[in-house]
Structure 1
Amino acid sequence: MDLAGNLATAALALLGVLLGGWLSIRNQDRLWRRDHARQWRDIRLNAYKEFLAAYRQYIAFAVEPTAKISAVPHPRSPGVFMPFFDEVGRPYKERIDLASIAARLVSESPETTNAIVRLSRCARDVAASRGASGSEVASALVV
């Protein structure tokens, strides 16, 4: 009887250790997932903020009367113009392109990705209109 009692006590202790280990692993996994989700939220927020800042600077540059923008017809899309910038405007274009790519890479939903693409196209259309017709058309598009 003494051996059976010792075995039962050892089995219960082992069961307690296993249950405690499993609960600890489960809690650590939950905390890791929560921390991981928070990090990705911060990454997405920073990418979206960077995109919107680049978008605003791009539009502000495109509607500025002193900006030198030229526009040529798109080779595959009739009626669509492509804007080209001088060395002053090129950083604005590069920044919005990089910010757009970064925001699309970290976005969780297709709706967000589609919105980023639409905003980028609208900004490009403003610059192309400004390059093709002058600053009056671009100012009218922004309003």
Structure 2
Amino acid sequence: MSLIQACVTAATTLLAVLIGGWLTVRTQDRLWRRDQERQWRDIRLNAYTDFIGAVREYVAFILNPAARITVVPRPRDPGDLMPFFDDVGSRYRERLESTKTALRLVAGRPEVVSVSAELVRQARLLAAARADSGVEALQADRFDALWEAERRFIETARADLGLPSAFVS
């Protein structure tokens, strides 16, 4: 075996080791990224699910005939009435606010934050309407606006999670 053959063999072996190492690093990086994406998707799904649950609990409290709700005008835009609850209702408001903040921390798209804010606004408007009257006097358009805001939130959240539309057009 000549010196040239030994050099070619060594260079070929070294090149194969380098290519193999590079491919291994790329594969590991791809797997790590996929795992990170999966973890963030699960985190977002949990945050979105908790938020919807908190909205539903808030609305259920509003619809409770025994709920005591007062309202004051909001000092800033959009100028809506701001509902305040007794000690029992404060728990629902606090849960809604904390899940809204958690959602903002992990949302994958800015649209998720804006549609979640609209859903909270519609829930607050329903609570404000409930403060001035009983449950039976609530107008259907308040509920329509709330459910439309919820539908938009769900659609946006599903798009953020990479899921197909849940609603038939």
4+ residue runs of structure 1 moved beyond 6 angstroms? Answer: none
Structure 1 position 135, deviation (Å): 2.5
Higher RCO, 1 vs 2 (CA within 8 Å, ≥6 residues apart): 1
Give 1:58 deviation, angstroms. 0.1
> TM-score normalised to the size of structure 1?
0.92
Report deviation, 1:108. Answer: 1.3
CA deviations 1:71-111 (Å, max 9, x no partner) are 11122348521111111001100001111111122111222
Q: Tell me the residue number matched to 2:47.
A: 47
SS at structure 1 position matched to 2:3: helix
Gaps of 5+ in 2: 145-169
Query: Could you say if the C-alpha distance between residues 112 and 76 of structure 1 is closer, same or farther in structure 2, counting changes exceeding 3 Å?
Result: closer
**Counterpart in 2 of 1:24?**
24
Q: One-letter code of the match for 1:24?
A: T
1:69 and 1:127 in contact (8 A); partners too = yes
* Equivalence for 2:76: 76
For 1:11, the equivalent position in structure 2 comes to: 11
Instruction: State the distance in 2 between where 1:98 and 1:63 align.
Output: 21
CA drift at 1:133: 3.1
Q: 1:133 to 1:77 in 2, by over 3 A?
A: farther
**RMSD of equivalent CA atoms:** 1.7
Other-structure match for 1:120: 120
Cα offset for 1:137? 4.0
Larger Rg over CA atoms = 1
How has the CA–CA distance of structure 1 residues 72 and 134 changed in structure 2, closer, same or farther, with 3 Å as cutoff? Answer: farther
- TM-score normalized with structure 2 length: 0.78
Choose 132-141 or 51-60, whichever is displaced more. Answer: 132-141
Count of matched residue pairs: 143
Partner Cα separation in structure 2 for residue 30 and residue 75 of structure 1: 50
Alpha-carbon offset, residue 139 of structure 1: 6.3
Q: Matched residue of 1:31: which SS?
A: helix
Kindly indicate whether the alpha-carbon contact (under 8 Å) linking 1:69 and 1:83 is maintained by their aligned counterparts in 2: yes
| Contact persistence 1:126–1:142 (CA under 8 A) | yes
How far apart, in 2, do the equivalents of 1:138 and 1:115 lie? 23
Question: Structure 2 CA distance, aligned partners of 1:46 and 1:76?
Answer: 32
Does 1:63 pair with 2:63? yes
Determine if contact 1:63/1:138 at 8 Å carries over to the other structure: no
